[in-house]
Chain A
Amino acid sequence: MIVEHLWGEAVASRLALLAISGAAAGLLGAIPVLPGAVLVVLIGAFVLIGPGSLILTWFSDLSSDVLCALVPVVGIAVSILVVSGLLLFGVYAPLPILLAMASVTLVGGLIRRHRLAAPRDLAF
C-alpha cells in the first residue's frame, strides 16, 4: 500500500516535471522572432505535454501506458476548450492565451512538484 502510494507520488512528480517542461516550451514559443519550424515544435510540445501532464498528476495511479496515451489527448482537449471556448465568447487573442495557459501550467506544475515526493524517496 505504501509502495503503491509512493510509486503514485513519484509518477505524479515526474508528470509535474513534464508539465513544467511543456510550459517552458510554451513560454519560449511565445517569442515570435523564432523560426516557424521551432515555434511549431515548441508550441506543439506545449499543447501535447503541458496541460495534460499537469492534470494527470492527480491520476498517477494509472499505468504508464495509459498516462502516456492520455497526456496528449487531455492536452488537445484542454487547448480546444480554452481557445475555442473563449472564441465562443468572442475572445481570440493567440499570444495572451498562450502566455496565460503556459503560465498556469508552469505555476501548477511547480506547486505540484513541490508538494509531491521526489522520485529518490522511493529508494528504500
Chain B
Amino acid sequence: MTALNTAPEQASTPPHTGPVGTRPRVTLPWALMLVATVAFAYGVTTLRTAGISEYGLLATASPLFACSMVITAVAFGVCVRRADFRAGVVATALMIVVQRLPAVVATDSPMYSWTYKHLGVVDYIQHEHALARGVDVYHGWPGVFGLTAWFSDLTGVAPVTLAHGFTPLFHLLFVSLVYVAARVWDLDKLPALTAAFMAATLNWVAQDYFSPQAFAMVLTAGLVILIGLSRTRPTGVVLIVVIFSAATISHQLTPFWLLLAIGLLVVSKRMKPWWIVPILAPIAIGFLLYNYDQVDQYTLFSGNIIDNAKSNVPTVGSIGQRTTSFAVRILSGSVWAATALVLLVRWRRRQPFFGLAVLALSPMLILGGQSYGGEAIFRVFLYSLLGCSIVLAPVVAGMLQSSRLKFGVATALLSVATVFSAQGYFGGWFANIMPREQVSASQTVLAQADFPAYLTVAAPVWPQRSTWRYVEYARFNDHFDDPMIFAANLVGSHFDSDRDYQKFIETIGSRYDASTYLVFTEQMRLYAWYFGILPLDALPNLKKRIHEDPRWVQVYDDQGVTIFQHDVERR
C-alpha cells in the first residue's frame, strides 16, 4: 500500500529505539556535526588559494575540507543508528553545505564553460524579447531560459548571479523531493532520509549547475512522487501532465526517459491510469517534431550501446583525470551493481521490485538508443540516482541500525562513497572554474569584435556564447567558436615544429569570409592537459609562434587572457 496517499491516515513509522541494549547518546551526532562544521569553516577558506593540481581540489585544499565530508557522513550514520531523525535531517543539509557551497563561495562566477552557453540564451531573450529559432537547440527548448530571463528582468538580478547561486538551492530542493518520493515509494522515515542523504552525497556527476537538465531533474522528482501515488489508483493525472509538459519544453532527453519509465509501469499494470501514456506521448513526440529541424543532424536512434556509453571526452587524460575517472566508475558501477543485487533479492523474496527496478535502472535503456552527444552516460547516472537511492536506502539504514560490525561496514562504505563522489565532483575543479576576468573578456570580445568574425578559442575551455550577440555570430557561421585544435585536427600536438604550426595556420587561412580572433587562457592550458587534449607546453609554444608571426596582431592581454586577431582580405 502506498504510504502517503491520504492525509488523515498518516503513515506511521514505528518508533526507532536503536539497537537493543545500547543507550542512545543523543549528543554524539551533534558533536560530530559541530566538528564537521568547524572543519568546513576552516577548509573552505583554503579553497581559493589551493594550488592547482591534476587531482583536483581535495588534493590541495586543507585536508579539513575533505574531512568535513567524511565526518558528516559518519555523523549521518550515527544519526540513523540512534534513530535521531532531526539530527539526520541536519546532517543531510550539512552534506549539501560542505559539498555544494564551495561552488558558490570559492568561485567568482558560475563554474563550467557550458553554463555560459545557457546564460547567452537567457541574455538573448532579455535583449530581443524573442527566441532565435534555428540557431541552436537551446532556442527550441526554452523552458528554463525563458523563466530565468523573466525572473531576471523582473528582479533586476543578473542571470549570472542567479546561476552562481543555483547549485546549493538545486540540491536542497532535489534532496527534499527525494525524501518525499522515498516515503511515497513505501520507505519509512529513516530509510527515506537515508535515500535523501545518498542522493545528496553520491551526486558526483555535476549536473547541478544552471542548466535545463537540473530543472528537469527537479520536475522529475515531483513526477516520481506522483507516479508512486498512482501505483494503486490514478492520482494527480492533471499534475503529471502539467509537470511533464514543463519538462518537455525545457529539456530534450528527460521527457523521453520519463515516457519510457511510465510506459513500462503502465504496461506492467503498476501505474494507473493506462491512458496517461496516450496523453504524454503526443506531448513529447509532438514537441520533438516541432523542433525536428533543430535535431535532424543528430542520430536520433542508434542501437550501438558501446558507442552510446562513451563519454564526450575521447582523449586519454592526465594521471589525475584518470584517477578521478576510475573513482567515479567504481562508484557508479558499485551503486548500479548493489541496486541490481538488492532488486534480485527482493524478487527472490517475492517482494515488490519491478516498479523500483524501472525507477532505478530504466535510465540505462537510454544507452540502447542515444549517445546524446557523448553525454548519455552522465545522464544515466543522474536519472538513476533517485531510484538507486530509494532501492539501496533500506539496506543501508538496516545495516546502520544492526550489529556494530554491520554499522561499521555501512559507515565505512558511506564514507568511502562520499570521498569517491567528492573526488568525482571536485577532481576537475581547476579545469572547470571560470574566473571573472575570463567571463568579462568573453563578453568584451563578443561586443567589440569586428563582425563578422570567428571568435575562436585555441583549445577548450572558455565562457563562450555568454551574451546575446553570439546569435549574430552563430547565424554567420554555426562553427564560429569551434576550438582551433579540433578544427585543425591538431589534438596532441606540441606546436614545437614548423609542421604543426603550418597545419594550424592553413586552417586559419582557409577562412576567407571573416577575420579570426584567437583566444588563449591559462585555463585552456590546464583543461587541455587535464583531459589529454594537448600537452602542457603546447599552448605556450603556439602562443610564442603567433607572437612572432606578423600576420597576427595582439588585441587583448589582461589577467591571463590573450587575444590575437588575424585579418583576412575578403574574397
A interface residues with partner B (beta carbon < 8 Å): 3-4, 7-8, 11, 29-30, 32, 36, 39-40, 43-44, 47, 55-56, 58-66, 68-70, 72-74, 76-81, 83-85, 87-88, 90, 92-95, 97-98
Contacts and interface: CB of A to CB of B under 8 A. Distances in A.
Contacts of A80: 143-144, 146-147, 215, 246, 249-250
Contacts of B331: none
Contacts of A85: 249
B10 A63 contact: yes
B151 A43 contact: yes
A88 B147 CA distance: 12
Nearest to A68: B180
B177 A84 contact: no
B242 A74 contact: yes
A78 B243 CA distance: 8
B156 interface: yes
A68 B222 CA distance: 11
Contacts of A8: 7
A62 B5 contact: yes
Contacts of A69: 176-177, 180-181, 222, 225
Contacts of B151: 43-44, 47
Central interface residue in A39, A60, A61, A92, by most chain B CB within 10 Å: A92
B150 A97 contact: yes
Interface of B: 4-8, 10-11, 125, 129-131, 142-147, 149-151, 153-157, 173, 176-177, 180-181, 183-184, 215, 218-219, 221-222, 225-226, 229, 235-236, 238-239, 242-243, 245-247, 249-250
B27 to A, nearest CB: 28
Interface of B is mostly: helix
B242 A66 contact: no
A3 B10 CA distance: 14
27 contacts: A39-B157, A47-B151, A55-B238, A59-B236, A63-B6, A63-B11, A65-B4, A66-B180, A66-B225, A68-B180, A69-B180, A70-B226, A73-B221, A73-B222, A74-B222, A76-B215, A77-B243, A80-B144, A80-B250, A81-B249, A84-B145, A84-B147, A84-B250, A87-B142, A87-B146, A92-B129, A98-B154
A76 B219 contact: yes
A66 B215 CA distance: 19
Central interface residue in B125, B155, B239, B247, by most chain A CB within 10 Å: B155
Contacts of B150: 79, 83, 92, 94, 97-98
Contacts of A92: 125, 129-130, 146, 149-150
Contacts of B239: 55-56, 59, 70, 74
A92 B173 CA distance: 28
A33 B125 CA distance: 23
Nearest to B247: A77
Given A92-B146, A95-B154, A66 B245 contact: no
Central interface residue in B6, B130, B154, B236, by most chain A CB within 10 Å: B154
Contact of A62 (B156, B176, B229): B229
Given A39-B156, A94-B153, A81 B225 contact: no
Given A4-B6, A66-B229, A77-B242, A83 B147 contact: yes
Contacts of A29: 154-155
Contact of A63 (B7, B215, B222): B7
Nearest to B156: A36
Central interface residue in B221, B229, B247, by most chain A CB within 10 Å: B229
A76 B238 CA distance: 15
B6 A61 contact: yes
A90 B130 contact: yes
Contacts of B11: 63
B183 A65 contact: yes
B406 to A, nearest CB: 29
Nearest to B176: A69
A74 B235 CA distance: 15
A1 to B, nearest CB: 10
Nearest to B140: A88
B242 A62 contact: no
A60 B229 CA distance: 14
Given A36-B156, A43-B154, A95-B154, 7 more contacts: A4-B6, A7-B7, A62-B5, A63-B6, A80-B144, A84-B144, A88-B142
Contact of B131 (A73, A79, A83, A88): A88
Contacts of A44: 151
Contacts of B235: 62
Contact of B157 (A36, A64, A70): A36
B232 to A, nearest CB: 13
Nearest to B6: A61
B254 to A, nearest CB: 13
Given A83-B150, A95-B154, A77 B7 contact: no
Closest 10 A-B residue pairs measured CB to CB? A84-B146, A73-B222, A77-B246, A69-B180, A63-B4, A39-B155, A92-B129, A94-B153, A80-B246, A87-B146
